[in-house]
Amino acid sequence: MTVSTIPLDRTAPVGFSKGPALALIVLLLAAGLPLVTQDSFFIHSAIMVLFFAYMATAWNFLCGYVGQLSLGHAMFSGMGGYVSVLLFTTFGLSPWLGMIVGGLAAAALSVVIGYPTFRLKGPYFTLTTIAFAEIVRIWVENTDTFLGFHIKGAEGLVVPMVGESFAAFQFGGKIPYYYIILGMLALAILATLIMERSKLGYCLKAIRGDRDAAEALGISPTRYTLTAFAISAFMTALGGSFYAQFFRYINPERNMGTELSIDMALMSIIGGQGTAFGPLIGALILTPLAEVTRGYLGGTFLGLHLVIYGIVLMLAVLYFPKGVLEPLKNLAVGLFRRRNPA
């Protein structure tokens, strides 16, 4: 069959020619950031922005395009983190390889979970993803040793220092981590852009639009959603490994807790799910809030950033159901037109 029979989303390919150029400029500007400032707090915050943008992009790869809401993605992040840390501490395997192993394991887990659950609709699917993630988290929190690996339960794992080494994913300053996560984000967005214009992307959009109609056209919803789920889980696990290596510490609460799942989902939803750059916009808006309240207000206003996240999420659901990317784009186009009347 040909995919051209599926009606194309007219809003998506606008600026197809300008988009990549603009993205390249933004990427170059981001790459130049450490030349402008080397302030440790600032670089740390920038890393967190990029990390959450990356995680939201990974979440969006599946959920944004299929239109299912997963609130369990943190389990893949935790899996990637734990596998890479354990392989490093037990066998001395480089985290670069360990994160790939963790990613593949997460992808396998996603297929096992996704195969039965994708038939569930709307809130039922969401509740199932929460249940799976909670099972994994509770299990890790209460397991000391598994197959000879010391998981150490709720206590978490510390990545031992071995000195500056590229192979061990340990660097002196924060700037190398900045470039690594920037590269990961660029690749994730590139993967999303390629997927959008591939058969997979068109099929996912068809499934989101009308699952039964898509199936009638010969698109196998299971096959395409599972492919996207596996890729999304793989990317999420890489992010989880990065997080573990960056903080040199991993525990079930931070790496596979519900809060992380919600963060990933709400950043892409607020930015604009189902768009390649929406999750980045969402993370750019929200993460600095978290970093500033954490950095300047310290422990006095614990949880303030999550209150703001909650309010922004409610406003976005009510007034910008497609995320803020589209209204922002329209605003930019409007301003541009006004200045250069055609």
Partner 1 sequence: MDPFILSFAVVNGLLQGGIYGGIALGLSLIFGVLRVVNFAHGSFLMLSLYLSFWCWNLLGIDPYLSAIVTVPAMFALGYFVQSVIISPLIRRERALVVEPLSALLLTCGVFLVLDNVALMAFGPDVRSVQLSYYLPSLMLGPIPVNIPRLIAALAAILVAVGVSFWLRHSHAGRAIRATAQNRDAAAMSGIDVPKVYAVTFGLGCAILGLFGALISPFIPATPTIGLAFGIKSFIVVVLGGMGSIPGSIIGGLVIGVFEAVASQFVTATSAAIFSLGLFILVLLVRPAGIMGKA
Q: Which residues of the shown chain bind partner 1 in the complex (CB under 8 A)?
A: 69, 71, 116-117, 119-120, 122-124, 126-128, 130-132, 134-135, 138-139, 141-142, 258, 262, 266, 269, 301-304, 306-307, 309-314, 317-318, 321
Provide the β-strand partners of residue 165. Answer: 170
323: β partners: none
CB of 113 to partner 1, least distance (A): 9
- Residue among 33 and 326 whose Cβ is closer to partner 1: 326
* 24 or 135: CB nearest partner 1: 135
Least distance (Å) between residue 293 CB and partner 1: 10
What whole-number distance in Å separates Cα of residue 339 and Cα of residue 342? Answer: 9
Type of residue found at 59: W
Beta-carbon count within 10 A of 105 CB: 19
Region of 147 on the Ramachandran plot (φ > 0 left; ψ -120 to 50 alpha; else beta): left
Nearer to partner 1, 190 or 304 (CB): 304
Contact 240, 261 (CB under 8 A): no
Which one, 117 or 236, has the nearer CB to partner 1?
A: 117
Q: Closest distance between partner 1 and the C-beta of residue 310, in Å?
A: 3
The residue (of 240 and 323) whose beta carbon lies closer to partner 1 is 323
Using the minimum distance from each CB to partner 1, give the nearer residue, 194 or 302: 302
Alpha helices in the chain (DSSP H): 18-36, 40-66, 74-91, 95-117, 122-141, 175-196, 199-209, 211-216, 221-247, 252-256, 258-271, 278-296, 304-319, 325-339
List beta partners, residue 283. none
Q: Are 3 and 199 in contact (CB under 8 A)?
A: yes
Closer to partner 1 at the Cβ: 216 or 318? Answer: 318
The whole-angstrom separation of Cα 236 and Cα 213 is 30
Distance from the first to the final alpha carbon of the chain: 42
Distance of CA 28 to the CA centre of its chain: 21
Q: How far is the CB of 287 from partner 1 (least distance, A)?
A: 15
CB of 170 to partner 1, least distance (A): 32
Residue 252 Cβ vs partner 1, minimum distance, rounded to whole Å: 12
Work out how close the CB of 272 gets to partner 1 at its nearest, in angstroms, rounded to a whole number: 14
